């Protein structure tokens, strides 16, 4: 065949960012260990979903917030190469700072307008101790922050679901409640597979008519049967 016109071809990047609460309370009743285990166990499933769609390049990062915030994996890393390093806990819940740091990474540049909508997964067991409103505003000021698929997981009864709902920004999608390790595993797996699959091949949506989510999200795993299930520990 004759030489193809144009420059280098490339699949579309899909940025997937874990934003994890590592405050002191996450050390209670094994929450942080359960989170580390759940994400590590979800990675093979995530890779399998990514393999199903070779036109999306799934790039994973992780940010931890506690007293301050820092990137655990700062570079967008191909899901095939992504390795989970166990998170450690300390201090407060600087969620607002965490969102600001994510917002910086969603600016254009370094992001490009040909990316797929990013997936942001916020996991927390408590209430922000810093300027959450300012952090969320910084995130939503970025076009890709606004268009991101934003999922929140509340660990335990003390999690501030109102704050997590504000992060999600759509009434039709609620924070996922995890009050025990099994439920947390289920939620993490759902985000890593069903949500990732939807975000990696989104159909076009008419501006102003989507009335909420710009990427259709499948139904999340069934909630526990009551506010307090027998096996709840958090």
Partner 1 sequence: MSGDPVTGTAATGWQALRASVRGAAHRRTGLPNQDAVRIARRAVANGADDDDTPALVLALADGHGSAKCFRSQQGARLAVAVALQTAGSLPLAAPPSQRKRWAEEQWPVTLVRGWQAAVTRRLERQPLTAAELAALDEHGRQQVEIQPTLAYGSTLLSVIVAPAFILYLQLGDGDLLTVSADGTVARPLPPDARLIGNETTSLCAPRAADDIRVYCQTLAGAPPALILAATDGYANAFRDDAGFRQVAHDLWTMLRDEGEAAVSPHLHGWLDEASRQGSGDDISVGILWRAPPDGPPAC
How many residues of this chain bind partner 1 (CB under 8 A)? 42
Is the CB of 108 or the CB of 223 nearer to partner 1?
108
Assess 226 for contact with partner 1 (CB under 8 A).
Answer: no
Distance (Å, rounded) from C-alpha 132 to C-alpha 153?
A: 16
Assess 208 for contact with partner 1 (CB under 8 A).
Answer: yes
Assess 222 for contact with partner 1 (CB under 8 A).
Answer: no
39 CA to centre of own chain: 11
Distances (CA, A) of 42 to 47, 191, 227: 9, 9, 26
Please count the residues of the chain. Answer: 234
Assess 7 for contact with partner 1 (CB under 8 A).
Answer: yes
Distance (Å, rounded) from C-alpha 206 to C-alpha 204?
A: 7
Q: Go through 33-42 and write b for each residue having 16 or more CB atoms within 10 A of its CB, e for each that does not.
A: ebbbbbbeeb
Which region, judged by CB under 8 A, interacts with partner 1, from 46-54, 131-139, 185-193, 222-230?
46-54
Is the CB of 52 or the CB of 231 nearer to partner 1?
52
Name the minimum Å distance from CB 147 to partner 1: 4
Distance (Å, rounded) from C-alpha 115 to C-alpha 17?
A: 14
Name the minimum Å distance from CB 59 to partner 1: 14
Assess 203 for contact with partner 1 (CB under 8 A).
Answer: yes
Question: Per-residue contact track with partner 1, 89 to 118, x per CB under 8 A?
Answer: -----------------------xxxxxx-
Is the CB of 56 or the CB of 184 nearer to partner 1?
56
Tokens read off for 105: 């990474």
Distance (Å, rounded) from C-alpha 194 to C-alpha 190?
A: 5
Task: DSSP letter for 176, please.
Answer: E
Name the minimum Å distance from CB 14 to partner 1: 11
Q: Which residues of the shown chain bind partner 1 in the complex (CB under 8 A)?
A: 1-12, 52-56, 112-117, 143-144, 147, 172, 201-212, 214-216
């Amino acid at each position: 065949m004759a030489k193809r016109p144009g420059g280098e071809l490339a699949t579309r990047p899909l940025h997937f960012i874990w934003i994890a609460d590592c405050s002191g309370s996450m050390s209670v009743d094994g929450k942080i260990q359960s989170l580390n285990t759940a994400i590590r166990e979800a990675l093979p499933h995530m890779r399998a979903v990514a393999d199903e769609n070779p036109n999306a390049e799934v790039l994973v990062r992780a940010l931890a917030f506690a007293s301050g915030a820092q990137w655990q994996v700062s570079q967008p890393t191909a899901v095939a190469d992504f390795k989970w390093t166990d998170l450690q806990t300390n201090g407060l819940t600087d969620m607002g700072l965490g969102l600001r740091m994510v917002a910086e990474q969603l600016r254009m540049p370094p992001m490009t307008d040909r990316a797929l909508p990013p997936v942001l997964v916020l996991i927390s067991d408590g209430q922000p101790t810093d300027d959450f409103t300012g952090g969320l505003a910084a995130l939503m000021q970025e076009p890709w922050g606004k268009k991101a698929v934003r999922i929140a997981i509340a660990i335990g009864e003390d999690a501030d679901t109102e704050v997590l709902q504000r992060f999600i920004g759509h009434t039709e999608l609620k924070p996922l409640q995890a009050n025990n390790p099994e439920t947390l595993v289920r939620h993490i797996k759902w985000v890593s597979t069903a949500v990732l699959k939807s975000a990696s091949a989104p159909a076009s949506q008419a501006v102003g008519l989507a009335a909420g989510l710009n990427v259709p999200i499948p139904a999340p795993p069934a909630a526990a049967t009551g506010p307090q299930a027998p096996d709840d520990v958090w």
